[in-house]
Structures are given as structure tokens and as C-alpha cells.
Amino acid sequence: MSAGENDGSADRINGIKSTLRVVPDFPKPGILFLDITTLLLDPKAFKDTIDLFVERYKQKDISVVAGIEARGFMFGPAIALAIGAKFVPLRKPKKLPGEVISEKYVLEYGTDCLEMHVGAVEPGERALVIDDLVATGGTLCAAMNLLERAGAVVVECACVIEVPDLKGRERLRLHGKPLYVLIESRFEPTS
């Protein structure tokens, strides 16, 4: 599901969309990078972004918001605070101190790894996974695996932006989980 379909949020969504910018050829030639930092420079648009997620999740008994390093850290905590949930950072290897569980995942070339603290999440907890953007869905699937290995139920994955051509939504559907986004990307670099 995407926001704006039937919840009267169209103006807020348009405002958010207009603050995003596309940076061509980053991090490498041929990639059109969707940059959320310009959204963070617009207090109203940033607040609207958080509010849209909070409105969706505040009555869903979510006890954990898991945010993916590093841009998931910019959105997840504010949502967690508003709905009274724990915030759990999911991090690149060797960043979290103490005992962790690790989940490896496949990239276009090579692999990467996501870690979560042992004990951060308890069996039966209801979790939301947050990141700024979903592309192939590989990182979100690794995140869901971590939470499920700890016994939590992943209720949904939520991102500001979806890149539909990279089929992340389908990948999450195979994992049995829904995806909620505010905006779908269209590739037109802004000046």
C-alpha cells in the first residue's frame, strides 16, 4: 500500500515529494540516488512524514520500531517516541557493543551483514521495520530475519520511498510481509 490512496493525505504527500532530490551518478555512474536530506531541511515536510507513519501505526500495538543504519535512524526514533515503542538500531558489523545476532545478505556484488543486540527484542513483540528507501528489499529481508529469529512478529516494513522497478515489494511479499511507503520514485533529476 502507498499513502495517499484514500486517507486525505495527498497534500502532505505532495509536499514531502517536492522536497526530495535526485542526485545522478551517485554512488556510482548510472545510479540516480534519491536523497532524503533535503526533506530533513523542511521542518513541516519532515513532521508530516513522521505524522503519516504515526497515524498508520499508533493503534496497531507495535512494541518495537527497528531502524536500519544509518538513514533508518533518522525516521525510526521519532516514530517510536510518538507511539511509545522501543527503538532498536539494526547496524553494520562491529558497531553494536556486547552480544549480537548477525544476518548475512546478498548484494549485487558480494554480501553484507546486519546485526541486532541479543535481548533487544523479546518473543511475541510486534515490530515495524523502518528505512528511508526500499530498492531490492534485500536489507529489509535481512532485518525481518533478525527480528523473527528473536521471536518477534514483523507487522510491516515502512519506507519513505519505494523504487518500484527494483521489485522490493514483491520480495517482501515472498517473505509474507506487507510494505507501506509514502512515495514511489520517478527518475527525473532535479536541478
Partner 1 sequence: MSAGENGDSAGRINGIKSALRVIPNFPKPGIMFQDITTLLLDPKAFKDTIDLFVERYKHETISVIAGIEARGFIFGPPIALAIGAKFVPLRKPKKLPGEVISEKYILEYGSDCLEMHVGAVESGDRALIVDDLIATGGTLCAAMNLLERAGAEVVECACVIEVPELKGRERLRSHGKPLYVLVESQFVPSS
Catalytic sites, residue numbers: 71, 108
**For residue 67, how many C-alpha atoms fall within 13 Å in the half-sphere facing its CB?**
20
Is residue 95 near partner 1 by the rule CB under 8 A? yes
Contacts of partner 1 in 29-88 (CB under 8 A): 33, 35, 37, 40-43, 46-47, 50, 69-71, 73-75, 77-78, 80-81, 84-88
Number of residues engaging partner 1 in binding (CB under 8 A):
38
Rounded to the nearest 10 degrees, how much is the dihedral formed by the CA atoms of 174, 64, 131, 7?
A: 80
Is residue 113 near partner 1 by the rule CB under 8 A? no
Q: Which residue has cell 548475512?
A: 104
Rounded to the nearest 10 degrees, how much is the dihedral formed by the CA atoms of 129, 182, 160, 130?
A: -10
Shortest gap between Cβ of 174 and partner 1 (angstroms)?
Answer: 30
40/153 with CB nearer partner 1 = 40
Shortest gap between Cβ of 17 and partner 1 (angstroms)?
Answer: 18
Q: What DSSP state is assigned to residue 164?
A: G
28/176 with CB nearer partner 1 = 28
Shortest gap between Cβ of 182 and partner 1 (angstroms)?
Answer: 16
Element (H, E) at 55: helix 43-57
**For residue 95, how many C-alpha atoms fall within 13 Å in the half-sphere facing its CB?**
13
Beta strands in 19-152 (DSSP E): 21-24, 32-35, 64-68, 86-90, 100-106, 111-117, 126-134
Q: Which residues bind partner 1 (CB under 8 A)?
A: 21, 23, 26-27, 33, 35, 37, 40-43, 46-47, 50, 69-71, 73-75, 77-78, 80-81, 84-89, 91, 94-98, 117, 120
